[in-house]
Amino acid sequence: ARVFVLKHPWQGLPKVSDFEIVEETLSDQLNDGEILAKAEVLTVDPYMRLRSVPGQPLPGGQVARVLKSRSPEFPEGSQVYGFFGWRDLTIYKPDPNGPRSYNTIHRMPEMKGLSDSYALGAIGMPGNTAYFGLTEICKPKAGETLVVTAAAGAVGSVVGQIGKIKGCRVIGFAGSDDKVKWLEQDLGFDVAINYKKVEDLDSVFKQHAPNGIDCYFDNVAGDFNYHVVRNMNPGGRIAQCGSISTYNADRSKIPMVPFDYPTFRVRKVIMEGFQVNQWNDRWFEGLDQIRDWILEGKLKVRESITEGFENMPQAFIDMLQGKNTGKQIIKV
Ligand code: NDP
C-alpha cells in the first residue's frame, strides 16, 4: 500500500515537501470481520490542515472497492465509505469498541445512478454539514435573508442552494469572478460577491441585504463576522461551521478579531458552533434528502477533479487556496 505521511509540523500554507509516500506491506491473510479495500476516489478537506499529526498518515475519507472480505456487512466487490486516511490500499479491522471517527466505515448511500464521488461531497460529509448546520442551527424561513461564505465550495454551494429551496434570499461570498458567476447564473443565488474586491463590507450589506440578515452560515470567520453581526436582524442565527481564514496561521498566533458585542446582545443573535458528526444518528436522512434534491433538479453539484493518488498533496494545497470550485476530489 502507498500511504501519505506528514513529515513534520506544518508551517503556514502546506507545501508538497511536507508530505512523503511510505510503502506499507499488507498481510495477505484477513481475520474475521476484516476487509481489504482499494481506494477509488479520495477527498481533501480543510479540517486536514488542523487534524494531521507529524509522522502519522494523513486522515481522510475515501470511496473504496472491497477486494477481499471476511465481513458479511461489506462483501467482496461492494463499495464502502471508509475513513482510512490518505492511502490506496487498506485492511480495515473493526474496532472492538465500535466505530469511532478515526476508524469508521459505512455503507455507501444509495446513489441512484449519481456519481460515486458525490459520496465524498454533496451526498457525503460536506453535504450533511450544509444540511444539518443550516436546517438545525440557522433554521431558515421563507423570505429571510441568508449569507454564506466560502459559498462556491463543497459545503457553501450546498448551503446556498438549500437556502433557495427554503425560499430565502441568498447572498454568497466567494474568491473569484468565475465562482461568483457560477453561483448567480447556475446555482440561482440572488447575489454573489467576490470578497477579494470588497472595500466596504458594511455598504455591501446595506445594498444587498436591505432588510437585514437573518441567517449566517459561517465557513470563514475572522473580521468579516464583525460586519455581518452589525447587519443582523433581531433573533438572527449564526451557524459557526468553519474558520478557514485562520487555518494556515500558527495556532498560537491566530489574530485577534473585533466583535460587535452590543449589537450581538441587543438583537439577541444566537451563534452556535457545531461538528457534523453530532448528527451521526441521522446521517442517511441528510444524504438521502440531498440526493433526492439533486435527482429532482433542485440542487446542482460541481467537482474539481484531480487525477492520480500521487497528486493528493497538490490538490489539498490548491483547495486551501481556493483553486477548487465545488468539491475537490481525487480519482485514483
Ligand atoms: P471548500 O470546498 O469550501 O474549500 C475551501 C474554500 O475556502 C476555498 O475554495 C476558498 O474559496 C475558501 N478560502 C480559503 N481561504 C480563505 C480565506 N482566507 N477567506 C475566505 N475564504 C477562504 O471546503 P469545504 O466546503 O470542505 O469546507 C468549508 C468550511 O466548512 C471550512 O471552514 C471547513 O473547515 C468547514 N467544515 C466544517 C465542518 C463541521 O463539522 N463544522 C465539516 C466540514 C467542513 P474562495 O475562492 O472563495 O476563497
- The CA-to-CA distance between both ends of the chain, in Å, stands at 13
Mutation choice for ligand 1 from 147, 238, 244, CB with most ligand atoms inside 8 A: 244
List the residue whose alpha carbon is closest to atom 18 of ligand 1: 245
User: Same structural domain for residues 264 and 153?
Assistant: yes
Please tell me if the CB atom of residue 183 comes closer than 6 angstroms to any atom of ligand 1: no
Q: Is residue 290 in a domain? A: no
CA of 134 to the centre of ligand 1 (A): 15
User: Same structural domain for residues 258 and 147?
Assistant: yes
3-state secondary structure string across the chain: CEEEEECCCCCCCCCHHHEEEEECCCCCCCCCCCEEEEEEEEECCCCHHHHCCCCCECCCCEEEEEEEECCCCCCCCCEEEECCCCECEEEECCCCCCCECCECEEECCCCCCCCHHHHHCCCCHHHHHHHHHHHHHHCCCCCCEEEECCCCEHHHHHHHHHHHHCCCEEEEEECCHHHHHHHHHHCCCCEEEEHHHCCCHHHHHHHHCCCCEEEEEECCCCCHHHHHHHCEEEEEEEEECCCHHHCCCCHHHCCCCCCCHHHHHHCCCEEEECCHHHHHHHHHHHHHHHHHHHHCCCCCCCEEEEECHHHHHHHHHHHHCCCCCEEEEEEC
User: Same structural domain for residues 54 and 165?
Assistant: no
Q: Is residue 130 in a domain? A: yes
List the residue whose alpha carbon is closest to atom 36 of ligand 1: 242
Please tell me if the CB atom of residue 64 comes closer than 6 angstroms to any atom of ligand 1: no
User: Same structural domain for residues 192 and 99?
Assistant: no
User: Same structural domain for residues 138 and 262?
Assistant: yes
Please tell me if the CB atom of residue 48 comes closer than 6 angstroms to any atom of ligand 1: no
User: Same structural domain for residues 158 and 189?
Assistant: yes
CA of 150 to the centre of ligand 1 (A): 5
Predicted pLDDT at 100:
57
Q: Is residue 36 in a domain? A: yes
User: By residue range, what is the domain housing residue 110?
Assistant: 2-121+302-331
Encode pLDDT of 255-285 as tens digits: 888 999 999 999 999 999 999 999 999 999 9
Encode pLDDT of 89-119 as tens digits: 999 988 777 655 555 899 999 999 999 999 9
User: Same structural domain for residues 169 and 265?
Assistant: yes
Question: What percentage of the chain has pLDDT greater than the value 70?
Answer: 98
Which one of 276, 291, 314 terminates a domain?
276
CATH classification at residue 316: 3.90.180.10
The pLDDT mean for the chain works out to: 96
CA distances from 53 to 5, 57, 95, 155 (A): 9, 8, 21, 24
In the predicted model, what is the mean pLDDT of residues 195-214?
A: 98
List the residue whose alpha carbon is closest to atom 3 of ligand 1: 153
Q: Is residue 136 in a domain? A: yes
List the residue whose alpha carbon is closest to atom 4 of ligand 1: 153
User: Same structural domain for residues 34 and 172?
Assistant: no
Please tell me if the CB atom of residue 47 comes closer than 6 angstroms to any atom of ligand 1: yes
Region for residue 207 given its phi and psi (left: phi exceeds 0; alpha: psi -120 to 50; beta: otherwise): alpha
Please tell me if the CB atom of residue 60 comes closer than 6 angstroms to any atom of ligand 1: no
Q: Is residue 285 in a domain? A: no
Query: pLDDT tier at 322 (50, 70, 90 boundaries)?
Result: very high
